[in-house]
Structure formats: structure tokens, C-alpha cells
Amino acid sequence: MAGYRVEERGREHTGTYRLFLSNDQGRFLSPFHDIPLYAAKTEDVFNMVVEIPRWTNAKMEIATKEPLNPIKQDAKKGNMRFVANVFPHKGYIWNYGALPQTWEDPSHTDESTGCRGDNDPIDVCEIGTKVCSRGEVIQVKVLGTLALIDEGETDWKVIAINIKDPEANSFKNIDDVRRLKPGYLEATVDWFRRYKVPDGKPENHFAFNSEFKDKDFAIQAIKSTHNFWKDLIMKKSSVGGINCINTMVSESPFLCSETDAKAFVDAVPVYGAGDSAPADVDKWWYGKKN
């Protein structure tokens, strides 16, 4: 992983697990705030932080409310969260992660969806052939987006491909995904619609009649959330519970020293053997498919 390193702390599959990122000089940083959004001057290649490798089930996420925003496993009522294998899918069907330096502002109502932001960075579904690693930072080309409406909030799901994928040059827009990977977009809608059903929740809904928007639309949504993030990191808007401590955004009032950043990391126990994943993680879940 050129340019970035990972350091795991705590015990995997427990509430203590954290994955911190540092640069190639060993300086700890926030994957939310310190990694640049744009990976190229052309403004159509973006950095993506991989939270969840394809085919895995542990629901990992950037800890937006903690200092340096390490990657942790989501929990509900004290239990670590794993997504079910909703037939015919196995875990996450893409490399799943986030675009740094984006923020879906919960005080802003999106004109196209009529819903507010979900207080998180923009999510990315990377569709390339490689299974990535947790915490890996890759460069992606955006192809389009789906708009999930989650409990009344807009939750963008950007479709992208790793620029190093052997087929990357063949993908220029969302229609190329439909043509070259037939069934993948339909599977993506099906996955997001039903992934919470095994937990007893209703099916999810989407804006735009479950249709994908194209590359230009997706990039405009990304630019908009990047502007919201700029206001957030400069304390020009309400933080919405977000922890904005960073080590690289020079003008930010939340900038911290290398010493303080290392102290945040050292406060988490060293990495050790974790708990086993629940036995039912590998089971198939068969449910009604609408």
C-alpha cells in the first residue's frame, strides 16, 4: 500500500479493535480528514479508504466520533455486527469503503432526494477484480451512484473501479458496468434492499426509483459533500458529533501535534488475539425476494 501504513490495536471482533493509519513517514493521520479526496489533478480520480474487503461479513467503519477516526467494527446493543449472507450473496459483494474529506451534512436537505445527509463520509462500492485489504487506500475512477434512503436520510453509494484494475480503461460510466458486468448493478440494488432484513428490519428504499445516476451526477454529489467537509473541518458549520481532530489540515482549528496523535493510538491496547466470529456468520439466509 504505497504511501500509507496500517496499525491494528485491540482485539479483533471485539469493541476494542481499532485500525489506525499513518503515512510513509510514520505520522499517524485520520483516514476521514487527512487523506486527500482527489488522487489526481484531473479531479476524476479519487482516493478510497477500504473499510470492508469483498466477501467478508464484519461491518467495519471509520469511527467518525473518535480522535483520528480509526476503523472499528460497528456494534449494536453490545454485539459486534456482521452482515448476513443473503442468498445468493456472500458478505459484501464489492470492496466497500469511503471517500475521505467528504461529509453528508445532516443539516442539509439534498435537492434531488428531498432528504438530509446521514452524517458520514460518502460510501463507495469498488467493483474491480482484486480483493482489497482493510485500511488499504486505493485510487478509483467514479462511474455512477445509487441513492439509498436510510431512515429518511440520503446515503449515497458511489460505484467505482480501482484505476489499477486490468479492465479499468473499459469502464467510463455506469452503462459500462451494466454492459461488461451484467447483473452486478441489479445485485447491488438487491443487496442494499435486503441486507438488514435478517436482523428483523424492513427492506430499504431508494431515491430515483432504484435507478443509478451517471458519473457526472455522482461527481457533483462528491464535490458537494467535499464542500460540506471543508466547512466542517474549518469549524464553519456544526460538527454533528463528528470528531475533527487531524494531523495534516494545516489551517484547521482541530489540528493536533504528532505527539498527541501518537498518544491517541497508544491509549488503545496493543493488538492481540481476537474473538472468533459467530458460527452463523457463514450460514446462508434465504428470504423473500421482491
- One DSSP character per residue, 180-225 reads HSTTHHHHHHHHHHHTTGGGTPPPPEESGGGPPEEHHHHHHHHHHH
Q: What share of the chain is helix, strand, coil (3-state, %, to 5)?
A: 20, 30, 50
Whole-angstrom CA distances from 55 to 131, 146, 282 are: 8, 20, 11
pLDDT for residue 23 is more than 60:
yes
Sequence letter at residue 215: K
Contacts of 158 (CB under 8 A, 6+ apart): 99, 122, 123, 124, 125, 142, 144, 145, 218, 221, 222
Looking at the chain, the whole-number percentage of residues with pLDDT higher than 70 is 98
pLDDT in tens, 35-91: 999 997 777 899 999 999 999 999 999 999 999 999 999 999 889 999 999 999 999
Beta carbons of 51 and 61 less than 8 angstroms apart:
yes
CB burial of residue 3 (10 Å; 0-12, 13-18, 19+): exposed
So what CATH class is 4-269?
A: alpha beta
Question: So what's the pLDDT on residue 289?
Answer: 47
Strand locations in 83-152, DSSP E?
A: 85-86, 95-98, 116-117, 123-126, 137-150
Beta bridge mates, 145: 158, 213
Residue 196: what are its φ and ψ, rounded to 5°? -95, -10
pLDDT for residue 272 is more than 60:
yes
- Predicted structure pTM score: 0.95
Q: Is the peptide bond before 106 cis (omega within 30 degrees of 0)?
A: no
pLDDT in tens, 222-267: 999 999 999 999 999 877 799 999 999 999 999 999 999 999 999 9
- 3-state DSSP call for residue 1? coil
- In degrees, to the nearest 5, what angle opens at C-alpha 89 toward C-alphas 165 and 207? 80
Question: What are 196's three cell numbers?
Answer: 438488514
Other CB atoms within a 10 A radius of the CB of residue 255 amount to 17
